[in-house]
Amino acid sequence: MTDNIVVRTEVTDAIAVVTVDNPPVNALSHKVRAGLLGAIRAAEADPAVEAVVLRCAGRTFIAGADISEFDKPPLEPALPDVLRAIAALRKPVIAAIHGSALGGGFEVALAAHFRVALTSAKMGLPEIRLGLIPGAGGTQRLPRLIGVEPALRLLLSGTPVEASQAHAMGAIDRVVETDDLLGAALGFARTLRREGHAAVPCGGRPSALGDRERNRAVIADLCAELERAQGDQIAWRHLINAVETGMEHGLDAGLAVERAAFLALRDSPQAKALREAFFAARRKAPQG
C-alpha cells in the first residue's frame, strides 16, 4: 500500500485501514489530499483488499479544509477529484467519524459509501458562515441522503449536528457508544462483506430527494425568507441554486454548478473579509 507523511494504510483481514494523521485537526492540506488519493488508488489495485475503513488519528475526524491554502495557487489533486475516487471505488468505503467532521471533512464522509460515528461526534457544513458554499459535493450528496428540505436547513444554517441527529436524518449508518471506533468500523465492514453489500455511492442509491414539486415549493419559500433577512448576502443564492440544479438535472450537473460557485465565492471580497475575520478571531483565542 502507498503511504505519505500524513496518510498511512494498514491491511487487516482484507480491510485497508486508511488513517489521516495531520494534527491538530487533520485539515485537508495538499499532503492529505494527495495521500488519500494514493491510498484509494492502491486499495483499488490490491486484490487482497475487499473494503476500506477511513479514519483519523488524534482527537478528531477531518475538521475541514486547510483555509490557509485558499489564497495560494491551487495544488492538485483538488478535493472533488479525491472524493470522486472514493465514491467510485468498487469496494465499500466506511468513514469512521469521531470528534468533528466539518466542511470538507464531512464531504469526505459523504463521499464514502457508509458512515459509522461515535455518539459524541458532530458533523456539518459551515461554509456559509465564511461566505462560501461546500465545494466538493456537500450540496449534492447530503440532499440525496436526507432529503432536500432538511439538507437546505443544515446547509443554510451552517450549524453542526450531533451523530444521533445525523443518524435519524439518514446521514449516518450506525452510531456507536464504544471507545473502540476502529473496532466498530471493522466489524461493520465485515458485516457488509458477509451480507454481500455493494459499494454504492449516494448518487447510485435510491434517492431521498423526495417529491420534486414539494421541493420546489420549499425552495421558493426559503428564497423569499432569505431575501427579506439577508438580501445583501450572495452565498445563499449560490447554495440554493446548486441544490436545485442537482435536484432538477442530476448529480453531475449539480457538482459542476457547486464547484464553479465555490471557486467564484472563494475569491469574492465578502468571503475574503470573512476569512480574515475568522483568522483574527483564532489569533485572539486563548491557546492550549
pLDDT of residue 1: 47
Task: Write out the three cell numbers for 114.
Answer: 457508509
Q: Which of 127, 149, 244, 276 is catalytic?
A: 127
Q: What is the CA radius of gyration of the chain?
A: 18
Q: 261-278 burial, b if ≥16 CB within 10 A, otherwise e?
A: bbeebbeeeebbebbeee
pLDDT at 238 over 60: yes
Mean pLDDT of the chain, nearest integer: 91
Q: Which of 107, 110, 154 is nearest to 129 (CA)?
A: 154
pLDDT score at 203: 62
Check residue 204 and give its pLDDT: 58
Provide the 3-class DSSP secondary structure of residue 26. coil
The pLDDT, as a whole number, for residue 134 is 97
pLDDT in tens, 28-57: 999 999 999 999 999 999 999 999 999 999
**What is the spatial order of strands in the sheet that 174-176 belongs to?**
7-12, 15-20, 51-56, 93-97, 114-118, 174-176
Q: Is 107 a catalytic residue?
A: yes
In the prediction, which pLDDT does 179 show?
A: 85
> Taking residues 100-122, what's their average pLDDT?
97
Quote the CATH superfamily of domain 1-288.
2-enoyl-CoA Hydratase; Chain A, domain 1 (3.90.226.10)
Structural domain spans, the chain: 1-288
What torsion, rounded to 10 degrees, do the Cα atoms 23, 29, 34, 37 define? Answer: 80
Q: Is the pLDDT of residue 288 over 60?
A: no
Q: pLDDT (tens digit, 9 = 90+) per residue, 49-93?
A: 999 999 999 999 999 988 778 778 889 999 999 999 999 999 999
What is the mean pLDDT of the segment spanning 182-198? 92
Cα–Cα distance measured from residue 164 to residue 272, given in angstroms and rounded to the nearest whole number: 34
Q: CA quadruple 203, 204, 208, 210: dihedral positive or negative?
A: positive
For the question of residue 244 being annotated catalytic, the response is no
Q: Which of 50, 107, 244, 258 is catalytic?
A: 107
The predicted structure's pLDDT at residue 235:
92
pTM: 0.93
Please, which pLDDT band fits residue 126 given cuts at 50, 70 and 90? very high
Query: pLDDT confidence of 285, banded at 50, 70, 90?
Result: low
Number of H helices and E strands in the chain, helices first, is 11, 9
Distance CA 266, CA 245 (A): 20
pLDDT confidence band for 162 (50 / 70 / 90): very high
Place of cell 465514491: 87
